[in-house]
Structures are given as structure tokens and as C-alpha cells.
Structure 1
């Protein structure tokens, strides 16, 4: 896993590494900071792959898999197109931070969220299980409760990104992340006609982020997570 800080403006050196579709997406973003974060994260993923594989960053292509739920081509999980290797990848960005994870196998999911206050109305919505809701309401209000919510949320999103269905394709109130456990822990995802098991762990990259990583449950998930420090402060 790699992580980095993103500048508030687009770096031309980062932009030069993007593919045509990524370039179009960046152009369509209204806020320059959002575009800079997107461009930085995509370029950072290519540099990380270049470092890992010993190849120039510009020789890697990123695309996306077919959606495992509906089979559509326009909203599947990210895919390493070139070089064509059996590696799973996942990206996340939040509040000027970019995170990239790569692993062997068919799926991996990473999510990062900047720690910040959250609306209490979320606790009564449809994104939490009953157990998660009880845990959060039993936590001291204020920063501790906000941090607990982000821990739950990053675990959920890491799993749905690993599955490939995304938040819209998951009944979040059935996806229990067991917030009372420190982990690594097993989380079961109930998809459309398919149930999958994942090993999820929280990672401390900086005290300003909540980060979770999901890998398929099994021998591969028992291996260590190799953290690469940020290349810039």
C-alpha cells in the first residue's frame, strides 16, 4: 500500500501519466482541488506500480472490470490493464490524500476517510446494522464517536470496493463490520445471489485518516501488509 499528499492544483507531470478517459474525467470536475486529487491519485498509482514492477510509470494502463453485479462496463472495480498481470488494485482519495493498494488475487479494497465530524442523523439511517448503531450510540459523543463512525464506514467501503459492487449495489444495513473488534476480522458480504468472505483490517497511516483494507478471506489475507511511506510530506 502507498499513500501520499496531493497538492491543490493539477501537476502537469501527473497529468501526463493519465489515460484519455481519466483526462476527460479530470476536465469534467468543477473544483480544481478535486481534479488535482483525482489526477494525483491516478498518477501516484502508476508510479507505485512502476516501483513495484520495475517498469516506467507511463507504461501502465488502468481500466475497469465489468461490474460483477450487472455486467456493465461503465462502473466496475479498477483493473490493471497493462501489463496484464493477475493483480488486484484499489484506490481511494479524501481531503487531499491519495491511497493505493495492490495485491495478488481477484479482489482487494481500500478506503480512506479524513477524520471529521459527521451528522448524527446518519446513525438512524439505513447504512448501519443494529449492532453498529448500538456501538456508536454507546461511544462518547464528539470526536470519539465520529472516529468510530469513520472506522465502520471505511471497513464497509473497503469490502464493497473489493467485491466490486460499490455502495449502490450493497445493502449496507446487512454488512456488519463488527466495530467492537480490533481486527483483522472477517466480514461477510451478502451480494446478489452470492455471499463472499473478507478479511478486513484498520491501518494507521496518519492520525488524520481512517483507513481500512479488505482482502479475500483465506491464506493470502494472513500475509503482512507492506506500507510504503509517502514520497512527500
Structure 2
């Protein structure tokens, strides 16, 4: 059963501002069950993955309250995050980045009982965001595009998530040749020109999620990950870290979000995990205890233009 937010092709929301609404639980049967948001925070177990949908367009209202909230979000970020935010040319992109990073901090703070500014974010030598000891057992991953972000969190297992806006790629074969394995490229060439963009985005999001789970980013050999570009929502991971066995033991699934978006999730050694879905709408930092609460692996540029594919963000 494919994990989905509500009905296929829709994004279901719940909860009130400043809280995390519970969208239920999807186990192997695909049957949702519901629990309170607070119970879900305290109950992140080793058999679960929490998946959070985050609206990044909360603060586009020009009201004073919205402006104040964005300032408070900005004040929760560290020097590295502020430096990155200053690199955005467009104000909306900068606001989305700030809201995404604050939401990451707020949600992690909910798990750790810390204020957003107190969450000890750091990065690995490969640039993968992680938590400093003693909190490093909480793994998280964040991906965002436009006004939407997805955050996945679990205990004791590395994971990766990717979310992309599907846009036409006239040079799709040229782009794919830079990032795909020979087998994936052959698959892409075998489909009709009308289908190539859709198949490429399935390949790309699945590869990116797997690479983020590995923590290696795009710098390693393409063969360390191999995926299938077909329409099946799961069972598409062929190799993880170059190993078919690791691929077979991983949770690998597409996520239905909304039309025009493509998303995928990979959790190492997570084939038996239960996926729980939430919606988060924050209105500003909460001291001491974040909203009912990212493991951001290396946050990488999106394949919306060929010259952005090989750079991490």
C-alpha cells in the first residue's frame, strides 16, 4: 500500500496553528489509525517513521503579526543558516528557507523538549545535517520545494527524503546522463519522449532519497544507488550502497503529495517500519517545547534546471 496524504493526489491537513495534527498511521495493511499529537511525540519508537507535512507559505500575509513571526523564526537560526539564507536572491525563496529551517528546529525541539534555537544541529564531513551527541540517535531528513516541505524522523536508522516540483526538462537525457546509472539511463531512453520527464523525476527523487539516506550526496559513484523508474510506488530500490541486500532491507516508497510534485522516502534497514503521517502549521517559536515536532541529509539542489543538479544546497 502506498503511503499517501489523504486520497491519492491530495494533501490532507489537520491540527490547529502551532500544533501538529495527526494524519493517522499507515502500517502494512494501509489502514489508518489515529492518536493524539502529544502521544505521538512521546511515542516515537524504533519501529516507526514520523513524516511531517509543513506549509512554508504561513507568513506571506503582510500583517505585522506575520512579519514578527518571521523575525522570531530568523532569530532561532544559527550563523551558518543565516549565511545560507542571505544567499537567496528572491525574498520569497529566502522566507521559505527560513521557515523550513525553523520548522525543522521546532519539530526536532518537540522530540527533544528544546526550544528551536537550542536544537544542536551540526553537519557531517559530507555535509549531511545531524544532531550532536547525546541526541544523535534521532535521525531526520528534510526536503522542500516551493511552499511545501516534508520532514521524516526515526530512531537509530539513517533515512532520506526528497520532494521535487515537476517541470519540463527539454534536455532530460543530458541531465540524466550526469546523475543516473547506465541501467537507469537505458530505461529512460526506452520510454516515449512524452513520458521521459515523468520517468526522470521518479528516478531522480528515488535516487536522491537513497543518496541522502546513505549520507554521501551526489559526489560518489552513481552505482552506489540504483532505482527503477517505473510507476510502482514501492519495490523500486535495486541497490543501496552498491548492495542489493541493503536495498531489500530498506523502506523505499513514493509519497503521494499533490499534482505536479514527486516525492520519495528511503529508510535504511526500515522495511518493517510503520509510517505515521502528520501536518504541521507553526505560527512562531515556542520556548522549551516545540510543536508536536528533520533529519536533513545533505539538502541538495533540485533538478529544475540542468546546471543545478550537481550542487548541494
Give the alignment's TM-score, normalised by structure 2: 0.61
User: Is 1:17 equivalent to 2:76 in the alignment?
Assistant: yes
Q: Tell me what 1:64 maps to.
A: 123
Q: Tell me what 1:222 maps to.
A: 272
Q: What secondary structure, in the 3-state scheme, does the structure 2 residue paired with 1:229 have? A: strand
Q: Tell me what 2:228 maps to.
A: 178
Distance, in Å, in 2 between the alignment partners of 1:216 and 1:174 is 14
* Residues 132, 179 of structure 1: 8 Å contact kept: yes
Distance, in Å, in 1 between the alignment partners of 2:93 and 2:52 is 20
Query: Which range moved further: 200-209 or 125-134?
Result: 125-134
Q: How far is the alpha carbon of 1:157 from its aligned partner? A: 0.7
Structure number with greater CO (CA < 8 Å, separation at least 6) is 2
| Per-residue CA distance 1:40-83 (angstroms, 9 max, x = gap) | 1111112222344454334323211233xxxxxxx2x1112376
Distance, in Å, in 2 between the alignment partners of 1:196 and 1:88 is 18
User: Is 1:84 equivalent to 2:135 in the alignment?
Assistant: yes
**How well do the aligned residues superpose, as a CA RMSD in angstroms?**
2.8
**Counterpart mapping for 1:72-151 below 5 A:** 75=127, 77-81=128-132, 84-118=135-169, 119-122=171-174, 125-142=177-194, 144-151=195-202
* Residues 63, 80 of structure 1: 8 Å contact kept: yes
* Residues 184, 226 of structure 2: 8 Å contact kept: yes
Tell me: CA distance 1:32–1:196, structure 2 relative to 1, closer, same or farther (3 Å): farther
Distance, in Å, in 1 between the alignment partners of 2:267 and 2:79 is 30
Structure exhibiting the larger radius of gyration computed from Cα positions: 2
Give the alignment's TM-score, normalised by structure 1: 0.79
Q: Tell me what 1:27 maps to.
A: 86
Tell me: CA distance 1:174–1:136, structure 2 relative to 1, closer, same or farther (3 Å): same
Distance, in Å, in 2 between the alignment partners of 1:38 and 1:190 is 30
Distance, in Å, in 2 between the alignment partners of 1:184 and 1:55 is 37
Q: Tell me what 2:255 maps to.
A: 203
